[in-house]
Chain A
Amino acid sequence: MDDIKIVLTPKQKAGSWLGSFGLIAILLIIFGFFSLTLRGTYFNWGNIKNMVSFSSYVGIGAIGMTFCIMTGNFDISIGSMLALAGVLGASAALKLGGIVGVIVTIVVAALLGLLNGLFVTKLKIPAFITTLGMLFIFRALAYIYTNNNPQYITDRFWIFLGNGSFLGLPFPIFIMGLCYLIAFFMLRKAPFGRYILAVGTNSRAASLSGINVENVKILVFTLIGVFVGVSAVLNGSMLGAANPGMMGDGYEFQVITAVVLGGTALAGGSGSLGGTLLAALIVVFLKTGMSNAQVNSYWQQVATGVVLIVAVSLNKLKFWLLGQAQ
């Protein structure tokens, strides 16, 4: 059978271009604007490395959230999850060393994610309600375990993960790159990726086609935990402490913003890891630029909201130009 060649109209080509390069264009516009207005304080190699490095905090956590939202679910407990895993890992590091502490952090976060997954699938409690309850429980447990005291991180290995550099680049960039590489293979090359999209598009149809929907959801929630655990490791390293009250405060909002800005549909069924990564960079580049320009913090919030609306509108425009054809 001959290959089918798809011919796009000019309108559809514009939509395709927008889908591929829209976020890159936004990032370049933000970077260009602040580079021109702030000159050397923004447009310097040290600042660029700093911004990309700090985007790893939200960028890595957003990987798991991208998967979750693609299945049509939500997890708003990730900030508290990050705090609880962070304090437990930091506490373990004090007694057993940094490598053990890092492993404990990631494993604890994965188990907390697994717990969320089990509540959502086995007890059939909606994800929003489950994770809303866990948001309070995880944070409270972090307070109780530490008696409200920060757990300091001094282990050299752990400190290096968030503060060290290799080949002239901050180490978090390599960790973020590795996480996105693994996630890309899971989403695009492994059957798991197709299952996520199928469950998000129509879970009933996915179930009828032989996909174990419950197992997919459990695995997705567990993966959220894994990536949040990695973020907790980097965040703890950068701060040199795991503070039960402040660690991960507002994290869920930042991560969901990055995922939505990156083009993942809240209804599920579609999403883009590349978009998520670009969105995480956009948020950090924008915040840093406004901060360096000493823009009032209230206007910064306005600007962030405007960028989010513009990006989501561009995503809608993309689908309109494509005529809903994908």
Chain B
Amino acid sequence: MKKYLRISVFAVLILALVVTFAIAGCKTGTESVKATAKTMKAADVTIGFSVWTMEFTFFQNVEKGVKDACAALGFKYTMLDQKSDATQMVQDMNTLVNQKVSGIVSTPVDPGAMGPAVQKARDAGIPVVCADIGKSGPVNALIVSDNFKGGGLAAEFLANLFPDPAATIFGLGNCKPQWTYARQRGEGFKAKADELTYNIQSDIIVQNPSAEGGYDTMQQMMSAAPDIKGAFFVSGREAVGAANYVKSQNKDIKIVGYNGDPEEFIAIRDGILSATILQQPYVIGYKAVETLKEILVDGKSYENVEIPAEVKLVTPENLDQIAKEVMDSTGNSAFGE
């Protein structure tokens, strides 16, 4: 008994020491970021790219943009894959800091969870630019699509197909709240629909961000609003899944997606999907490296700046032209016929 009492006291003392060290170790004062070092030569610059996942075409195109920009500017380049894991995302940022890269580009799987990791990078004098998705912590810049405008384009497209607002019901397949910038697509859609006096009767968060998730969500949407005429899904994969559900039910409901993935282009060609809002991931990735070049080589200062990237409406009428443009810029043959 005495022995276990000794052990318990020992454990409590160790715990108390840990807590004391933790409190003592906390820095006081306001948070600050270390100013980026003086300008560098291009040949000395290494860009570290932390990507959400290389499974999706969108991020493959972002990566191509980052890689091509590095090649064009004479920078060295390294890439780590978060594999859609927030903890991996943080570990990868720390790894890049340990590798002493000159600058970091990130497409974060959980933007709200990167704050401490970004702080560490900035404390080490490494600027961080986020390429799409979102940001938290003291990032230098965020290159992101004009999502609010894109959502508005989707609403306008559907409104043109159904000129009578009083007789028309729309649905919205939204994304989870942590993707705050992607949420702006839904907000833009709702704002434009309100402006044009259209009713959005069903607004559902797609829990499983995939084609299967879109399929299931469309099923729920049609149960909740049987007279629905059109729906906007803030992600292309989900929109294609939703469109396939509509097709399986032999209904004529117009579905609009967002992203401009190859499967959306195929679905538009096949007449399953009505339209999509094209992002330009290659341009986003390229621009992210150009921004780092301005910071590292030109000595410019960026702190928490948002730089919008244009979006485009893709319909059956302009599909082939836009597909060619995308293929020419990214070399991705998946956009071909």
Contact = CB atoms under 8 A, between A and B. Distances in A.
Q: How large is the interface on B (under 10, 10 to 19, 20 to 34, 35 or more residues)?
A: 35 or more
Contacts of A294: 78-81
Interface string B98-112: 110000000001101
Interface stretch (B15-23, B156-164, B284-292): B15-23
Contact of A245 (B114, B117, B120, B178): B178
A243 B86 contact: yes
Contacts of B137: 240
B225 interface: no
A57 B18 contact: no
Given A54-B91, A291-B92, A297-B55, A156 B112 contact: no
Given A148-B205, A243-B86, A297 B53 contact: yes
A207 interface: no
B80 A292 contact: yes
A159 interface: yes
Contacts of B226: none
Contacts of B324: none
B220 interface: no
Nearest to A46: B98
A237 B116 CA distance: 8
Contacts of B116: 159, 162-163, 237-240
Nearest to A235: B87
Contacts, number: 131
Given A174-B18, A246-B86, A288 B114 contact: no
B209 to A, nearest CB: 10
Contacts of A57: 87
Contacts of B205: 148
Interface centre among B79, B87, B136, B137 (most CB of A within 10 A): B87
Contacts of A162: 116
A34 to B, nearest CB: 12
A160 B11 contact: no
Contact of B98 (A47, A174, A239, A241): A47
B308 interface: no
Interface in B81-102: 81, 83, 85-88, 90-92, 94-95, 97-99
Contacts of B19: 99
Contacts of B18: 174-175, 178
A128 interface: no
A165 B85 CA distance: 24
B178 A240 contact: no
A63 to B, nearest CB: 14
Interface string A139-162: 000000001111010001101111
Given A54-B91, A166-B25, A241 B112 contact: yes
A57 B114 CA distance: 16
A288 B91 CA distance: 9
Contacts of B211: none
A156 B93 CA distance: 20
B54 interface: yes
Contacts of B117: 238, 240
Contact of A250 (B85, B98, B120): B85
Contacts of B80: 291-292, 294
B26 A160 contact: yes
B25 A160 contact: yes
A4 interface: no
A181 B113 CA distance: 30
Contacts of A122: none
Interface in A218-269: 235, 237-241, 243, 245-247, 249-250
B21 A288 contact: no
B11 A297 contact: no
B25 A171 contact: yes
Contacts of B2: none
Interface centre among B86, B97, B114, B120 (most CB of A within 10 A): B86
Contacts of B115: 152, 240-241
Interface stretch (A14-22, A182-190, A310-318): A182-190
Interface centre among A160, A178, A181, A249 (most CB of B within 10 A): A160
A44 interface: yes
B186 to A, nearest CB: 13
Contacts of A37: none
Interface centre among B7, B94, B113, B136 (most CB of A within 10 A): B113
A147 B205 CA distance: 12
A288 B95 contact: yes
8 contacts: A54-B87, A150-B113, A164-B22, A166-B25, A185-B7, A239-B87, A241-B136, A291-B80
Nearest 8 CB-CB pairs, A to B? A239-B113, A46-B98, A240-B115, A156-B26, A240-B116, A241-B113, A150-B112, A241-B112
Interface of A: 41, 44, 46-47, 50, 54, 57, 99, 147-150, 152, 156-157, 159-166, 171, 174-175, 178, 181-182, 185, 189-190, 235, 237-241, 243, 245-247, 249-250, 287-288, 291-292, 294, 296-297, 300
Interface of B: 4, 7, 11, 14-15, 18-19, 21-23, 25-27, 53-55, 78-81, 83, 85-88, 90-92, 94-95, 97-99, 109-110, 112-117, 120, 136-137, 176-178, 205
Given A164-B22, A239-B116, A243-B86, 20 more contacts: A41-B78, A47-B95, A47-B98, A50-B94, A54-B94, A148-B205, A160-B27, A182-B11, A190-B7, A235-B87, A239-B87, A239-B114, A240-B113, A243-B112, A245-B178, A246-B109, A288-B91, A291-B88, A291-B95, A300-B83
